[in-house]
């Protein structure tokens, strides 16, 4: 099943629009009529979506500021007072746990004069679980409650002079009204999500059937073991679209192509804001590396025990789950042609009991780094090409690029103001490389 095909009566050979598109038309349905066609007739998303500052700004507000965005891992905030500071749609957000261990998230902004409260590298909220503004010492607890305006502990204010600084006696002021600005936060498996919308739908609405599809893996017990950051000179959607298809494997990934055979790929997606594919069976390592190296989760059975699952979580997270490890790419768009990518290798507890686990982790990390660098090199070349005004969009390759079509239509939906979750394929797995007749 494909995305909505508004305008499917259009001539697929019609001339594509000239570049650039007037930014005022980015929110108009007709602008995307060629991408709304069925995948076998569709053209790619307009090039401006990958290089226009106006489209980038619109996408921040209508896609990233309205979606559940994966920002880290549950183990990053594993106790009261532990925190991470993340960027979503250009806004800094604190994620922490209160004194009862419940997740909380707040805009990283003091309610007094908007000072940034915590730095990006903060891992604890502060002394005694308090978030103190460095400017005027307004202080908050991990529930966001304003404790003092300012709080005088540890200050150089002379004893007895505190009332001079105390704003709690100001007319018409109640510090209970000036707690931190809250942000919705939730988890699935090992992933931590935030949503900037005022009243977002539950995370499960966006994830669709993924919780069911991954139930046997017990992902909530997996933890990060290796992390690496990449600066990518490309739009975040190009990274995602490259991840969603294996059309490029024989030419870009000589090593990966040996352990992820073309004929073993299936589309693997149901209802939800995601795209998915799988490889089954998982091939053994070659001299160039591969996905072996750690013990598999012993409780897996059937296809789960011998498959690799590849899911792009809308809007910008890659999730790979194999029987013995997981690999995640958290992509943070910072400009139309620049993305900061954090790559994380995770394992389940059983794998760490093996004395050779560290060596296996090192081999897996090296293989994923090789594959990821190959991908990033090619998407940066795509970015260079897509910025050429001569390019006005291309045709989808229907056999391999249905997930791209699905994803691009998700983006279009949000940009034009449509809120919906795409349906999935009729079959649990759809073979993508048909057997020759």
Tens digit of each residue's pLDDT (9 = 90 or more) over 275-303 = 998 887 776 666 666 667 788 899 999 98
- In this predicted structure, what is the pLDDT of residue 244? 83
Do residues 243 and 153 both lie within one domain? Answer: no
- pTM of the complete model: 0.89
Do residues 170 and 234 both lie within one domain? Answer: no
Mean pLDDT computed over every residue of the chain: 87
User: Is 88 within the bounds of a domain?
Assistant: yes
User: Is 358 within the bounds of a domain?
Assistant: yes
254 vs 83, higher pLDDT: 83
Question: Cis link prior to 20 (omega < 30° from 0)?
Answer: yes
Do residues 271 and 179 both lie within one domain? Answer: no
Residue 339: burial class (beta carbons within 10 Å; 0-12, 13-18, 19+): buried
Q: Is the pLDDT of residue 410 over 80?
A: yes
The last residue of a domain, from among 184, 219, 249: 184
The kind and range of the H/E element at 192 are strand 191-195
> CB 368: neighbour CB atoms within 10 A?
22
User: Is 234 within the bounds of a domain?
Assistant: yes
User: Is 355 within the bounds of a domain?
Assistant: yes
Do residues 99 and 164 both lie within one domain? Answer: yes
Do residues 422 and 350 both lie within one domain? Answer: yes
Question: Cis link prior to 334 (omega < 30° from 0)?
Answer: no
CATH number at residue 303: 3.90.380.10
The number of folded domains in the chain is: 2
User: Is 261 within the bounds of a domain?
Assistant: yes
**3-class DSSP state of 152:** coil
CATH number at residue 98: 2.102.10.10
Q: Mean pLDDT across the stretch 400-405?
A: 87
Do residues 168 and 248 both lie within one domain? Answer: no
Do residues 143 and 225 both lie within one domain? Answer: no
Do residues 216 and 310 both lie within one domain? Answer: yes
Q: How far is CA 250 from CA 82, 168, 207, in A?
A: 44, 67, 31
Which of these ranges, 134-148, 260-274, 373-387, 410-424, has the smallest mean pLDDT?
Answer: 260-274
Rank 16-30, 82-96, 113-127, 392-406 by mean pLDDT and report only the highest: 82-96
Judge contact between 337 and 383, C-beta under 8 A.
yes
**Angle (CA) 329 332 338, round 5°:** 110
Do residues 138 and 281 both lie within one domain? Answer: no
- In this predicted structure, what is the pLDDT of residue 261? 61
User: Is 46 within the bounds of a domain?
Assistant: no
Do residues 161 and 252 both lie within one domain? Answer: no
Judge contact between 96 and 125, C-beta under 8 A.
yes
Which of these ranges, 12-21, 99-108, 195-204, 375-384, has the smallest mean pLDDT?
Answer: 12-21
- In this predicted structure, what is the pLDDT of residue 127? 82
- Per-residue pLDDT of 210-231, as tens digits, reads 999 999 999 999 999 999 999 9
Do residues 229 and 325 both lie within one domain? Answer: yes
151 vs 344, higher pLDDT: 344
User: Is 174 within the bounds of a domain?
Assistant: yes
Domain range for 141 is 69-184
User: Is 77 within the bounds of a domain?
Assistant: yes
Do residues 166 and 288 both lie within one domain? Answer: no
């Amino acid at each position: 099943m494909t995305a909505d095909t508004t305008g499917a009566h259009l001539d697929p050979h019609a001339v594509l629009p000239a570049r650039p598109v007037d930014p005022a038309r980015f929110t108009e349905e007709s602008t995307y009529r060629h991408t709304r066609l069925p995948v076998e007739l569709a053209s790619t998303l307009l090039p401006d979506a990958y290089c226009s500052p106006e489209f980038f700004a619109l996408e921040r507000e209508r896609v990233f500021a309205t979606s559940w965005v994966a920002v880290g891992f549950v183990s990053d905030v594993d106790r009261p007072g532990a925190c991470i500071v993340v960027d979503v749609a250009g806004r800094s957000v604190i994620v922490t746990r209160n004194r009862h261990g419940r997740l909380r998230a707040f805009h990283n902004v003091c309610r007094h004069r908007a000072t940034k409260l915590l730095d990006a590298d903060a891992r604890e909220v502060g002394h005694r679980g308090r978030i103190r503004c460095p400017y005027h010492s307004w202080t908050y607890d991990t529930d966001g409650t304003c404790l003092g305006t300012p709080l005088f502990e540890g200050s150089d204010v002379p004893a007895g002079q505190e009332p001079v600084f105390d704003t709690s006696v100001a007319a018409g002021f109640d510090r209970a009204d000036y707690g931190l600005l809250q942000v919705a936060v939730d988890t699935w498996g090992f992933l931590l999500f935030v949503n900037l919308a005022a009243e977002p739908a539950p995370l499960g609405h966006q994830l669709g059937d993924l919780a069911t599809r991954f139930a046997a893996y017990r992902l909530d017990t997996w933890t990060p073991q290796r992390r690496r950051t990449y600066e990518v000179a490309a739009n975040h959607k190009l990274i995602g679209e490259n991840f969603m298809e294996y059309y490029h494997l024989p030419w870009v990934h000589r090593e990966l192509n040996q352990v992820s055979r073309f004929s073993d790929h299936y589309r693997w997606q149901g209802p939800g804001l995601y795209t998915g594919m799988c490889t089954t069976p998982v091939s053994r390592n070659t001299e160039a590396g591969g996905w072996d190296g750690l013990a598999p989760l012993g409780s897996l059975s059937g296809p789960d025990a011998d498959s690799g699952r590849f899911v792009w979580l809308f809007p910008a997270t890659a999730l790979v789950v194999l029987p013995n490890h997981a690999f995640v790419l958290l992509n943070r768009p910072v400009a139309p042609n620049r993305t900061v990518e954090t790559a994380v290798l995770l394992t389940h507890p059983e794998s760490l009991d093996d004395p050779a686990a560290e060596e296996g982790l090192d081999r897996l990390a090296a293989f994923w780094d090789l594959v990821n660098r190959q991908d990033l090199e090619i998407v940066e070349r795509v970015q260079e090409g897509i910025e050429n005004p001569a390019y006005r969009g291309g045709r989808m390759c229907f056999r391999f690029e249905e997930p791209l079509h699905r994803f691009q239509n998700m983006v279009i939906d949000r940009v034009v103001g449509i809120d919906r979750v795409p349906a999935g394929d009729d079959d649990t797995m759809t073979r993508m490389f048909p057997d020759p007749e």
